[in-house]
Amino acid sequence: MELSSSAIWLIVTLLAVVYLYFQRKFSYWKDRGIPYLEPTFPMGNFSWKGDGSFKELFHKLYNARRGTPFVGGYFSINPMVVATDLDFVKDVLVKDFNNFHGRGIYTNEKDDPISAHLFSLDGPKWRSLRMKLSPTFTSGKMKFMFPTIVEVSERFNEILGEILDKGTDFELKELLARFTTDVIGTCAFGIECNSLKDPNTEFRKYGRMVFITSRLRFIRRIFVRFPKLAAKLHFVTFGKEVNDFFLGIVRQTIEHREKNNIRRNDFMDLLIDLKNNVTMDEEKKIKLDKLTLEEVTAQAFVFFIAGFETSSTTMLFALYELAVNPDIQEKLRAEINAVYAKHEGRLTYETMKEMVYLDQVINETLRKYPPVVALQRKAENNYKVAKTKVIIEKGTPVIIPAFEIQRDERYYPNPEKFDPDRFLPEAWKARHPMAFLGFGDGPRNCIGMRFGRMQTKVGLVMLLKNYRFEISDKTPIPMEFSTKAAVLSPAEDLHLKIVKI
């Protein structure tokens, strides 16, 4: 059936109205005299095709700066702020945190239970939950979990030795993810995942599903930036199958522990306590609600996905740089061996603190390869930017491009060079405190920072004590990054030559 001329004119008119509406919205930053990246219809500065990455976008925005504290960008028709000045970053993350405590990320406790976790929640719910969960990550709890991580690391060494019997050139990304999956599964759920021996275990399967780099996943990442629309459409971030798996695992774990009176002093124990007992907000002197099963599951879920993916990629990039820079690798190995020799071949929570060069290597890895390339906050009220007349309006997202800041030659000369000495105490103190954002900063920094560091350090120590890592014909130099992964990842498999010492 052919369209009538009136119908065609109506369609053309509607399209013209929509286009003009977008163009008017796209003048937001220009009207305010703020440097900005020119948007395009209909996605603003984002690609609707999914053929670009957030890292690439923030690189373009960061380099559009013109001496102002931030540049303007557009997520479709919605304006966003991209910070380019470290004093402004400090104001957002620390000094004026009360106006930027939220992330503005989609959560939907009814339709998508595991989306209501600490990373996504805002306002009083976030504050209450953060206070409840903080005791999990004290140095005392880390010390208790340390032997478990060492035990999994020793199994990791055994598996790697068996694999090396078949050849020395090996793809590390998947194996490291299996290692951190087993660590998190044990420490968070008290479950032996055994993904090191069997890569097709359920925990590894669902871990891969969360971080799958398909076009659909990219579209989902775009969609959750419109939380009100997503809620109206009953959007589910990770799919029903992932929700059902983690709800089932948590329910079974809780029932087993409560029935058999099992205590492991781990993350799940704390969550069970919060489910069963009323806690107090000592600051406000009020009682806090117990956690529901769904809330417990959401926190266990985010601890799992954040713990295994970020730590495994940090280990991966560290080993890559150590292979490319063998002198640094040998210096680190010498430190590891010296500490072992000093303490009669034992690795403990206390002795690992003596490996200061290891800390420098990890910090430099996080500088070059921050797992989360950008932090996000949302203005809770209209906010006047210090030393300017600029007002950031309520609800505007503020993006802090950690990857770009940490590769800015103003703060790190020759930023592409891997140099752990950048994190000597005197060098660190000489820089702006916001020049390193490997774990975020301020009251909403990474709550699991201690655990993530500990897991990464133990894994690297066990590997470097027993193996030498070298580049192979398949090693990518320079490193190229995936355009679709949620966490900073290599574009392709990362092969290194591994030699048993």
Annotated binding site: 446
Annotated binding site for heme: 446
* 3-state secondary structure string across 101-160: CECCCCCECCCEHHHCCCCCCCHHHHHHHHHHHHHHHCHHHHHHHHHHHHHHHHHHHHHH
Angstrom distance (rounded) from CA 24 to CA 28:
8
Report the chain's C-alpha Rg in angstroms: 24
CA distances from 458 to 156, 317, 451, 454 (A): 11, 15, 11, 6
| Through-space distance between the first and last CA atoms of the chain, rounded to whole angstroms | 76
- Give the helix, strand, coil percentages of the chain, each rounded to 5: 55, 10, 35
Angstrom distance (rounded) from CA 229 to CA 215:
20
Q: What does the longest C-alpha to C-alpha distance in the chain come to?
A: 89
CA distances from 348 to 117, 144, 329, 498 (A): 32, 11, 22, 26
Residues 6+ apart with CB under 8 A from 443: 94, 97, 101, 130
State the number of CA atoms in the 13 A half-sphere of 177 facing the CB.
25
Angstrom distance (rounded) from CA 232 to CA 220:
15
Mapped onto helix, strand or coil, the DSSP state of residue 356 is: helix
Question: Looking at residue 42, what DSSP letter applies?
Answer: T
71, containing H or E segment: strand 70-75
